[in-house]
Amino acid sequence: EPEVTQTPSHQVTQMGQEVILRCVPISNHLYFYWYRQILGQKVEFLVSFYNNEISEKSEIFDDQFSVERPDGSNFTLKIRSTKLEDSAMYFCASSELGSGTGGNNEQFFGPGTRLTVL
């Protein structure tokens, strides 16, 4: 069964450093997302991406964050200068095109990358 994969599973970095979290969405999906979950809290939406541009972003997704689809398979989240409060689990998700499939917008989530900022 196709699945979303994420690397690395755990990333430790120093405050102020740049990190890139990587995701490989399901191959025929066209919509991509990043979410984060601070330890013990709920999962929060960060950004959605379609047709090589951001569709929607939350207030959390400030100028320190960026997303990119550098090739036909990877989808990355970059944090330019990490802060302590960026420590969280980051989930990537993807969904297929809705029209023609009865409006199927189910998002499939990856296993997450745990980011620890020291």
Partner 1 sequence: GDSVTQMEGPVTLSEEAFLTINCTYTATGYPSLFWYVQYPGEGLQLLLKATKADDKGSNKGFEATYRKETTSFHLEKGSVQVSDSAVYFCALSETGGYQKVTFGTGTKLQVIP
Find the binding residues for partner 1 in span 45-104 (CB under 8 A): 45, 48, 50, 55-56, 58, 89, 91, 93, 95, 97-99, 103
Nearer to partner 1, 14 or 99 (CB): 99
Q: Which is nearer to partner 1, 13 or 107 (CB)?
A: 107
Q: How far is CA 72 from the centre of its chain?
A: 16
3-state secondary structure of 68: strand
Nearest CA to 32 among 76, 62, 63?
76
Residue 109 binds partner 1 (CB under 8 A): yes
Cβ 16 to partner 1 shortest distance, Å: 28
The whole-angstrom separation of Cα 67 and Cα 33 is: 9
Indicate which single residue of 41, 73, 81, 116 sits in contact with partner 1 (rule: CB under 8 A).
Answer: 41
Count Cβ neighbours within 10 Å for each residue of 29-54 and write b for 16 or more, e otherwise.
Answer: bebbbbbbeeeeeeebebbbbeeeee
Binding site for partner 1 (CB under 8 A): 30-31, 33, 35, 41-45, 48, 50, 55-56, 58, 89, 91, 93, 95, 97-99, 103, 105-112
